[in-house]
A and B are shown apart, each in its own frame.
Chain A
């Protein structure tokens, strides 16, 4: 059974940094594309970043240059390093298996506020 468990969310001041983690299990992690999708409070879903099985990475324009997606194949963990955070980054962040979104984690809340 596929399982995705995010962690690392919390309250951070504007301009600060945070690293999200997603522990994946139940599938061959290295073979699959993974992505991060967020949902700001009261708003819809927004794709943030993705990493192909090949390791190639992609970013939404809104986070390019500030966020970095990476993975550790030895521990089956997906990461999202978030720098220069602003209020607009406040959201629930979901770890998602596959570019077709077949499985989602429970989400972790990031709040950017002073």
Chain B
């Protein structure tokens, strides 16, 4: 199974400052079809998960442009250009290239410093 390792586990942030989350895969996530199926999700307290980014760098509808995704192969990054209060929560990466099973990273908790 593909293992996704996120870092850091906890990310204390100052509102208005940038934040970055890493997701590293145990094997390349580039599919034989040429696409890379690595997605990012946000889980706010008391809410269900929401997808932010699909296929590495594509922002979902309604997602603020302060969120961006990048990476290739085994290394991926989610960046928030200026953290706002509504961004606090836990972020997960998920891969759908080598499945079953679909696998998630362990999560990164973004909290106020």
B104 lies within 8 A of A47 (CB): yes
Kindly state whether residue A45 has any CB partner on chain B within 8 Å.
yes
- A4's nearest neighbour on chain B, judged by CB, is B48
A103 to B60 Cα, complex, angstroms:
11
A46 to B94 Cα, complex, angstroms:
10
- B90's nearest neighbour on chain A, judged by CB, is A44
B49 lies within 8 A of A45 (CB): yes
B49 lies within 8 A of A104 (CB): yes
Pick the contact of A44 from B50, B55, B100, B106 — CB < 8 Å?
B106
A94 to B50 Cα, complex, angstroms:
12
Measured as residues with beta carbon below 8 angstroms from the partner, the interface class of chain B is 20 to 34
A58 lies within 8 A of B49 (CB): no
What is the size, in residues, of chain A's interface with B at 8 Å between Cβ atoms?
21
Pick the contact of B50 from A35, A60, A104 — CB < 8 Å?
A104
A44 lies within 8 A of B101 (CB): no
A79 to B104 Cα, complex, angstroms:
22
B31 CB → nearest A CB, Å: 12
A92 to B87 Cα, complex, angstroms:
22
B41 lies within 8 A of A60 (CB): no
Residues of A within 8 Å of B39, CB to CB, are 100-101
Say yes or no: A102-B102 contact (C-beta < 8 A), given A44-B92, A44-B107, A45-B92: no
A101 lies within 8 A of B41 (CB): yes
**29 A-B Cβ contacts within 8 A?**
A35-B102, A44-B90, A44-B104, A44-B106, A45-B49, A45-B92, A45-B94, A45-B107, A46-B104, A47-B101, A47-B103, A47-B104, A50-B100, A58-B100, A58-B101, A60-B100, A60-B101, A61-B101, A99-B96, A99-B99, A99-B102, A101-B49, A101-B94, A102-B51, A102-B54, A103-B51, A104-B48, A105-B48, A106-B48
